[in-house]
Amino acid sequence: MSIADEQVANKSVPGIKPVKPAGGAPAFFSAWDMHAYYGESYIVQGVSFDIREGEILALLGRNGAGKTSTLRTIARMDDPKLTHGEIWLDHQPLHDMKSYQAARLGVGLVPEDRRIIQGLTVQENLELSQIAEPKGWSIERIYEHFPRLAERRNQEGTTMSGGEQQMLALARILARDIKLLLLDEPYEGLAPVIVQEIERILQGIKELGITTIIVEQNAVAALKLADRALILDMGEVVFDGTAQEVLDNVELRHEYLAI
């Protein structure tokens, strides 16, 4: 048996990433048939997709389609609860992990509300993200890339503008050694000029080769950044293809993205 065949045969062995028989190079991230519930509410209804290392996937769909729930399932938050399916990241079984274990492995979720810690300065927010291994960028390096944060290092994080708080949320991620970045609506509530600034930062993160899933209502902005796109509707995948295919497909855009 080849290694790939063995891995297929050993699909359920922890620590060995299952490889799809037909599928070329194994994906860096795979979600297979995820089903997840908030209590009795069945929300994530059999979602499967792969991401190659360094790729950016735009996760799109109408309000309430299940995008945030899908990110939370991958980050192994307590809610929604994964009842079925497998989630693999860099040969590790995320489906068997709690959120703190996923975070330690390198899953970084930037939630919609950004979760800047109240009462702490910018500097303290950054230091706190480096309390646990594995560390990423040094704080000095972060300040070189985010001069605005350097200027505000002694300011309380939650008193900054929305755009600056989004920068801090992204900087905190870079302060850790991240394998999979999960961005939930990074442009939400930001003025167009700030959106452009965050776009530049995300482009920089893309150049670093960090594998990313970006959820955005601003589908055009997300598709500009993304290599691939996945569209969800009512908790199911209705499209999986390239970002360009979505931009070229008027019907798809009208039906699910209102663009």
Ligand X SMILES: Nc1ncnc2c1ncn2[C@@H]1O[C@H](COP(=O)(O)OP(=O)(O)O)[C@@H](O)[C@H]1O
> Cα(164)–Cα(158) distance, rounded to whole angstroms?
9
> Cα(152)–Cα(171) distance, rounded to whole angstroms?
13
| Interacting residues of 171 by C-beta distance below 8 A, sequence separation 6+ | 126, 142, 145, 146, 149
Q: How far is the CB of 67 from Mg ion (least distance, A)?
A: 5
At 80, list the tokens.
């929604």
Q: Which residues bind ligand X (CB under 6 A)?
A: 38, 41, 43, 61, 63-69, 79
Neighbours of 40 (CB within 10 A): 5
Kindly tell me which of 55 and 184 has the beta carbon lying closer to ligand X: 184
Residue 41's binding partner out of ligand X, Mg ion, none, with CB under 5 to 8 Å set by partner kind: ligand X
Kindly tell me which of 34 and 142 has the beta carbon lying closer to ligand X: 34
Residue 42's binding partner out of Mg ion, ligand X, none, with CB under 5 to 8 Å set by partner kind: none
Residue 69's binding partner out of ligand X, Mg ion, none, with CB under 5 to 8 Å set by partner kind: ligand X
At 71, list the tokens.
């990110």
Residue 138's binding partner out of ligand X, Mg ion, none, with CB under 5 to 8 Å set by partner kind: none
Q: How far is the CB of 160 from ligand X (least distance, A)?
A: 25
Q: How far is the CB of 101 from ligand X (least distance, A)?
A: 22
Binding letters toward Mg ion, positions 43-82, x by CB under 5 A: ------------------------xx--------------
CB contact burial 46-73 (16+ within 10 A = b; e otherwise): ebebbbeeebbbbbbbbeebbbbbbbbb
The DSSP bridge partners found for residue 215 are 59, 184
Q: How far is the CB of 39 from ligand X (least distance, A)?
A: 7
